[in-house]
């Protein structure tokens, strides 16, 4: 089977982005939309009186909130939904993280293989969340359905003032 992990691909292993800060500080309504989406209305996410009695001493955002807190910037004039207007676009973005090079592999599908989280603390309303991403590994396995390339991305999340929130290892699969 064709080897997709060429020298050009191997060259980006270890590439690390700078710290990117989320567009807005954590907002109460954003936390509400998140816990409603994950069907988890625990009072610790919204009720200060009950949250005071918990180990957190106040309301927090759900554990994986930081992973999904990076939204389109107010000054980002390129609309990601316009990608379909690009005649070269094949429907799959290989730019897996802001600040990291695209993965130069022409396999047609990109799937999210899963996450491993290490949790340190939870975001709170008003926190500014920042993230730094690193390509930890890229390797190929040949299965019955053809080649699969695994891209392991480490994402470190912290507050702008340096409180660690979460470390994630995300495996993306191209096939």
Partner 1 sequence: MFKVNMVEPPVVYFEDLAEGHEFPTVTKGPMMVGHQVRWAGACDNYESEFHHDEHVAKAAGLPGILLSGPLMASLLLTTVTQWLGRDARLVRFFDQNRGATMPRDTALMNGRVKRKYLESGKAFVELDLSITNQRSEVTTPGSALAEMPRRGG
Q: Within the chain, how many helices (H) and strands (E) appear? A: 3, 5
Q: Does 83 bind partner 1 (CB under 8 A)?
A: yes
Nearer to partner 1, 6 or 36 (CB): 36
27 part of the interface to partner 1, by CB under 8 A: no
Residue 89 CB, nearest distance to partner 1 (Å)?
Answer: 11
Q: Which is nearer to partner 1, 25 or 67 (CB)?
A: 67
**Residue 112 lies near partner 1 (rule: CB under 8 A):** yes
Task: Give min distance, CB of 141 to partner 1, in A.
Answer: 14
Binding region for partner 1 (CB under 8 A) out of 41-49, 98-106, 132-140, 152-160: 41-49
Closest to 130 (Cα-Cα) out of 27, 20, 30, 31: 20
Q: Could you tell me where the DSSP H helices lie in 39-168? A: 48-52
Asked if residue 78 binds partner 1 (CB under 8 A), the reply is no
Query: Radius of gyration over alpha carbons of the chain, in Å?
Result: 19
Strands 146-159, 110-119: pairing kind: unpaired
Alpha-carbon span 163 to 92, nearest angstrom: 34
Does 48 contact partner 1 by CB under 8 A?
A: no
Report the C-alpha gap between 168 and 83 in whole angstroms: 28
Q: How many CB atoms lie within 10 A of CB 137?
A: 14
**CA dist 104 → 55, 73, 84, 93, 148 (Å):** 46, 25, 19, 11, 14
55 binds partner 1 (CB under 8 A): yes
**Does residue number 115 form part of the binding site for partner 1 (CB under 8 A)?**
yes
Q: Rule CB under 8 A: is residue 13 a binding residue for partner 1?
A: no
Question: Least distance from C-beta 119 to partner 1, angstroms?
Answer: 5
Residues that bind partner 1 (CB under 8 A): 30, 33-34, 36-44, 47, 50, 53-55, 62-64, 67-68, 71-72, 80-81, 83, 91, 93, 108-109, 111-119
């Amino acid at each position: 089977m064709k080897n997709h992990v060429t020298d050009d691909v191997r060259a980006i292993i270890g590439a690390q982005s700078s710290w990117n800060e989320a567009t807005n500080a954590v907002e109460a309504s954003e936390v509400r939309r998140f816990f409603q989406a994950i069907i988890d209305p625990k009072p610790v996410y919204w009720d200060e009186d009950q949250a005071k009695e918990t180990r957190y001493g106040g309301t927090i955002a759900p554990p994986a909130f930081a992973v999904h807190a990076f939204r389109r910037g107010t000054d980002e004039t390129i609309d990601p939904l316009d990608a379909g207007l690009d005649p070269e676009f094949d429907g799959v973005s290989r730019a897996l993280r802001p600040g990291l090079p695209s993965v130069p592999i022409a396999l047609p599908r990109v799937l999210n293989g899963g996450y491993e989280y290490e949790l340190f603390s939870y975001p709170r309303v008003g926190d500014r969340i920042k993230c730094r991403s690193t390509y930890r590994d890229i390797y190929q396995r040949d299965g019955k359905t053809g080649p699969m390339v695994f891209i392991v991305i480490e994402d470190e999340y912290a507050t702008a003032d340096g409180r660690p929130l979460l470390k994630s290892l995300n495996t993306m699969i191209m096939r």
